[in-house]
Amino acid sequence: MHTPNSSQPNNSSSRQPVWFLPHGAGPCFFMEWQPADAWLAMRTFMQQIPHTLPQPPQAILCISAHWIENSFTLGSGAQPSLLYDYYGFPPHTYQLSYPAAGAPWLAQRAAELLQQAAIPAQQNPSRGFDHGMFIPLKVIFPAAQIPVVQLSLQASMDPRLHLQAGRALAPLREQGVAIIGSGMSFHNMRGYGKPPFAPISDRFDQWLCTTVEAHAELRAARLCDWQQAPEAHLCHPPGAEEHLIPLMLIAGAAGDDPGKQVFSDRVMETTLSAFRFA
């Protein structure tokens, strides 16, 4: 049984994989959509994730595309509130709940690991959970019994820095911490729903799959040069690449573990994928 208020992890836990997951569009999994089944495959995929784990995580470290700071920042509150940081959705989606506990011990340990790698890091005890965290985790772990810490992106969006940060945080996996990057493999708001973007997203997605499934050294080199990928700037416009950058941190935390595309679907005329490293 999980103990969300525990001050330290159970070190007997199995080593956890790391994931890059698409988190959908706002609260899309909890509202009507047109077409009605637009997000069904993604939701079903997420619901199956717990069955693929070596055992339930002791805690979750979630890197959300929706939190950006000048230095890496960890939410360190014991019981964070929710940030309904989406706009124009049905009223009931602003009443969604996800009462997962925070994990101050994890925030402290993650900050220490980053600082030991000469990467500035700080903690924020008052920052709540944004929808990049609570929407997908509400699907994956609906009971909200696993404590969660959110980690921000760093505002430079430097892929090398985020890879380095992921490498620094990799030891957390040995403590039963699941590390999840929450973003989107395609995120151009002007492209969603437009048929000409289907082949554009396909070409970038194919490059992304080849990159993730390469050996670790080549994978890192290609991710650092992601802007040279086919259709890169049409899939992640300059200055708006925050939904891809969590993948860099996840790839760093993967170490030498192989990566694999574990989900792909056509949604709103674009290809969206998820990746697991283990």
CATH of the domain at 264: 3.40.830.10
Residue 261 reports pLDDT greater than 70: yes
pLDDT for position 3: 34
Distance, CA of 1 to CA of 141 (rounded, Å): 14
The larger pLDDT score, comparing residue 235 to residue 10, is at 235
pTM: predicted TM-score of the whole model, two decimal places:
0.94
Q: Is residue 63 part of a domain?
A: yes
Q: How many CB atoms lie within 10 A of CB 210?
A: 14
Q: Which long-range contacts (CB under 8 A, 24 or more apart) does 199-204 make?
A: 200/231, 200/234, 200/235, 201/231, 201/235, 201/269, 201/270, 201/271, 201/272, 202/271, 203/230, 203/231, 204/229, 204/230, 204/231, 204/232, 204/234, 204/235
- Angstrom distances, CA of residue 144 to CA of 22, 128, 176, 192: 19, 15, 17, 31
Mention every residue, 6+ apart, whose C-beta is less than 8 A from residue 118: none
Distance, CA of 103 to CA of 112 (rounded, Å): 14
Are the C-beta atoms of residues 169 and 254 closer than 8 Å to each other?
no
Q: Is residue 46 part of a domain?
A: yes
Provide the pLDDT confidence category of residue 262 given band limits of 50, 70 and 90.
very high
pLDDT for position 166: 98
Task: Kindly tell me the number of DSSP H helices and DSSP E strands found in the chain.
Answer: 8, 8
Locate 241 and state its tokens: 């690449």
The amino acid at 1 = M
Distance, CA of 244 to CA of 260 (rounded, Å): 16
Q: Is residue 173 part of a domain?
A: yes
For the chain, the farthest-separated pair of C-alpha atoms sits apart, in whole angstroms, at 51
162: part of which helix (H) or strand (E)? helix 159-169
pLDDT, one tens digit per residue, over 98-143 is 999 999 999 999 999 999 999 999 999 999 999 999 999 999 999 9
Distance, CA of 58 to CA of 51 (rounded, Å): 15
Q: Is residue 264 part of a domain?
A: yes
Distance, CA of 78 to CA of 76 (rounded, Å): 7
Residue 258 reports pLDDT greater than 50: yes
Q: Is residue 96 part of a domain?
A: yes
Residue 4 reports pLDDT greater than 70: no
- Residue 167: DSSP 8-state: H
pLDDT, one tens digit per residue, over 9-57 is 544 458 999 999 999 999 999 999 999 999 999 999 999 999 999 999 9
Strands across the sheet with 270-277, in order? 121-124, 72-75, 148-154, 59-69, 177-183, 18-22, 270-277, 259-267
Locate 201 and state its tokens: 């997203």
Mention every residue, 6+ apart, whose C-beta is less than 8 A from residue 158: none
Mean pLDDT of the region 81-98: 97
CA 68 from chain center: how many Å?
13
Q: Is residue 272 part of a domain?
A: yes
For the chain, the domain total comes to: 1
Q: Is residue 3 part of a domain?
A: no
Structural domain boundaries, residue 56:
18-277
pLDDT, one tens digit per residue, over 169-226 is 999 999 999 999 999 999 999 999 999 999 999 999 999 999 999 999 999 999 999 9
Q: Is residue 172 part of a domain?
A: yes
